[in-house]
Structure 1
Amino acid sequence: MIKVVIIGNGNVAQHLLKVMLKTDEVTIVQVFARNKNNISHLITENRITSNYDEIEEADVYIISVSDNAIAEVASNLPFKNRLVVHTSGTSELSVLDNKNRKGVFYPLQTFSKSKVVDFSTIPICLETENESDYKTLEILANLISKKAYAISSEQRKSLHVAAVFVCNFVNHLYQIGNQICNENRVPFEILQPLIIETANKITELSPKEAQTGPALRNDTKTIEKHIEFLQNSNYQELYKLLTQSIQNVKKL
Structure 2
Amino acid sequence: MISVVILGSGNVATHLFKAFKKAENININHWYSRRIDAISSYKNDVETIDDLSLINDADVYVLAVSDDAIAGLSSQLPFENKLVLHTSGSVSVYDIDKKHKRGVFYPLQTFSKEAQIDFENVPICIETIDKKSYPTIKSLALAISNVVKKVNSDQRKVLHLAAVFVNNFTNQLYRIGHEITESQGAEFDLLKPLILETAKKVQDLSPFKAQTGPAKRDDKKTIRKHLKLLEDQHHKDIYQLLTNSIQRTHGRKKL
Equivalent-residue separation in structure 2 for 1:63 and 1:143 (angstroms): 18
1:220-245 per-residue CA deviation (whole Å, 9 max, x = no partner) reads: 00000000000000110110110000
Q: Structure 2: any 5+ residue segments left out of the alignment?
A: none
Contact 1:18-1:42 at 8 Å conserved across structures: no
Q: CA deviation at 1:246?
A: 0.2
Q: CA deviation at 1:113?
A: 0.6
Equivalent-residue separation in structure 1 for 2:133 and 2:13 (angstroms): 21
Partner of 1:244: 244
**Residue identity opposite 2:69 in structure 1:** A
- Count residues with an aligned counterpart: 252
Partner of 1:31: 31
Q: CA deviation at 1:131?
A: 2.5
**Alignment of 1:137 onto 2:137:** yes
**Alignment of 1:154 onto 2:154:** yes
Equivalent-residue separation in structure 2 for 1:46 and 1:104 (angstroms): 24
Q: Secondary structure at the match of 2:205?
A: coil
Partner of 2:65: 65
- What are the residue-to-residue correspondences of 1:46-61 with 2, within 5 Å? 47-61=47-61
Contact 1:36-1:45 at 8 Å conserved across structures: no
**Residue identity opposite 1:38 in structure 2:** A
Partner of 2:203: 203
- What are the residue-to-residue correspondences of 1:9-24 with 2, within 5 Å? 9-24=9-24
Equivalent-residue separation in structure 2 for 1:91 and 1:99 (angstroms): 18
Contact 1:31-1:48 at 8 Å conserved across structures: yes
Contact 2:89-2:106 at 8 Å conserved across structures: yes
**Residue identity opposite 1:63 in structure 2:** L
Q: CA deviation at 1:45?
A: 8.2
Equivalent-residue separation in structure 2 for 1:39 and 1:130 (angstroms): 32
Q: Secondary structure at the match of 2:42?
A: coil
Partner of 2:226: 226
Q: CA deviation at 1:44?
A: 3.0
1:155-196 per-residue CA deviation (whole Å, 9 max, x = no partner) reads: 111011100000000000000101111111111111011110
Q: Secondary structure at the match of 1:231?
A: coil
- What are the residue-to-residue correspondences of 1:165-180 with 2, within 5 Å? 165-180=165-180
**Residue identity opposite 1:48 in structure 2:** T
Contact 1:125-1:148 at 8 Å conserved across structures: yes
Contact 1:90-1:157 at 8 Å conserved across structures: yes
Q: Secondary structure at the match of 1:30?
A: strand
Partner of 1:184: 184
Q: Secondary structure at the match of 2:3?
A: strand
CA root-mean-square deviation: 1.2
Equivalent-residue separation in structure 2 for 1:203 and 1:231 (angstroms): 35
Q: Structure 1: any 5+ residue segments left out of the alignment?
A: none
Q: Which runs of structure 1 show a deviation greater than 2 angstroms over 4 or more consecutive aligned residues? A: 42-46
**Residue identity opposite 2:135 in structure 1:** K
Partner of 1:90: 90
Contact 1:126-1:150 at 8 Å conserved across structures: yes
Q: Secondary structure at the match of 1:31?
A: strand
Query: TM-score scaled to structure 2, two decimals?
Result: 0.97
Q: CA deviation at 1:46?
A: 7.0
**Residue identity opposite 1:215 in structure 2:** A
Query: TM-score scaled to structure 1, two decimals?
Result: 0.98
Q: CA deviation at 1:23?
A: 1.2
Q: CA deviation at 1:77?
A: 0.5
Q: Secondary structure at the match of 2:74?
A: helix
Q: CA deviation at 1:130?
A: 2.5
